[in-house]
Amino acid sequence: MKFTRHETPDGPRWALDGNFLPADFNLSALLSLRRYEIPKALEAASAGSATMADGAALAPLEALMEVWACGVTYLRSRDAREAESSVGDIYQRVYEAERPEIFYKAIGWRVRGSGKNLRIRSDSSWNVPEPELTLILNCFGEIIGYTAGNDLSSRSIEGENPLYLPQAKCFDGCCALGPEIYLVDEEEHLLNLPVSLQIQRGADTVFFGETSTGRMKRSFSELVNFLFREMSFPQGVALMTGTGIVPDDSFTLQHGDRIEIRVGDVRLVNDIT
């Protein structure tokens, strides 16, 4: 089963497997339930639903839902961040440490959906997309589903000083998710999912890379447990799980680039303005 969220004349509306859910359905209410309670709740919500009308896709989360992100969960990410940083050994220490790197990325209203434009910071000279499997978690820290995410990053800012990470990661147009959430009932369904990144510049493919979630150093449950260790998320939360694909150091995004990210069966496409 998959969730999508759409623009309609009456405001945003959720759909499940191609059918609109009731207008008052919201994801945060669903994420207040235990995972085992969700199928029954969806069955009730889907009763009498109509075929989905056309409507532009929105990011599959609500305005006040938070997005958090993890770093240095793949060896490739560790290597890239060591290379960019003036204190590179810090990332080796994070890669080997018990505690993962987890940081705040965005609030729901700031997240862009597939087909929407992203931005690069005017004060950054080195910018890259980061394709990531993104977990959708309920308020109990249970994995409900997944989607594709782009953790856009200003590497020149982060490389100057690790304490500049929030400015490198958080800005208008810095995050995209979607276009759909696939529901899962077991973490094992997320193991070894293919992940790819393609960057198109005009008619040319200027970068292509691929990996698999099977190459992650840390487990999903490990990342979730640390996120929930001293924080609560009553509306649920999206957790980006880190990237294993990083373009070469000579590459930086340009205005007009098209970014295509695939995670499992999810395809996320955004242009840079």
Q: Are residues 38 and 74 in the same domain?
A: no
The model's pTM is 0.94
Q: pLDDT tens for residues 184-241?
A: 988 889 999 999 999 999 999 999 999 999 999 999 999 999 999 999 999 999 999 9
Q: Are residues 99 and 210 in the same domain?
A: yes
Report the pLDDT averaged over residues 39-44.
Answer: 94
Please write down the HEC assignment for all residues of the chain: CEEEEECCCCCCEEEECCEECCCCCCHHHHCCCCHHHHHHHHHHHHCCCCECCCCCEECCCCCCCEEEEEECCCHHHHHHHHHHCCCCHHHHHHHHCCCCEEEEEEEHHHCECCCCEECCCCCCCCEECCEEEEEEECCCCCEEEEEEEEECEEHHHHHHCHHHHHHHHCCCCCEEECCEEEECCCHHHHCCCEEEEEEEECCEEEEEEEEEHHHCCCCHHHHHHHHCCCCCCCCCEEEECCCCCCCCCCCCCCCCCEEEEEECCEEEEEEEC
Q: pLDDT tens for residues 124-147?
A: 999 999 999 999 999 999 999 999
Q: Are residues 243 and 211 in the same domain?
A: yes
Burial state string for 87-109 with b = 16 or more CB within 10 A and e = fewer than 16: eeeebeebbeeeebbbeebbebe
Last residue of a domain, one of 41, 58, 75: 58
Distance CA 130, CA 224 (A): 20
Residue 85: pLDDT above 90?
A: no
Last residue of a domain, one of 14, 38, 58: 58
What percentage of the chain exceeds 90 in pLDDT? 83
Q: Are residues 89 and 174 in the same domain?
A: yes
Domains contained in the chain, number: 2
Of 53, 89, 47, the residue nearest 72 (C-alpha): 89
Query: Which range marks the domain in which residue 43 is found?
Result: 2-58
Q: Are residues 155 and 261 in the same domain?
A: yes
Q: Are residues 23 and 110 in the same domain?
A: no
Q: Are residues 146 and 177 in the same domain?
A: yes
Q: Are residues 88 and 188 in the same domain?
A: yes
Last residue of a domain, one of 11, 26, 58: 58
- pLDDT the model gives residue 57: 87
Q: Which of 44-58, 63-77, 89-103, 111-125 has the lowest mean pLDDT?
A: 44-58
Report the pLDDT averaged over residues 30-38.
Answer: 97
pLDDT averaged over every residue in the chain: 93
Sign of CA dihedral 231, 232, 237, 241: positive
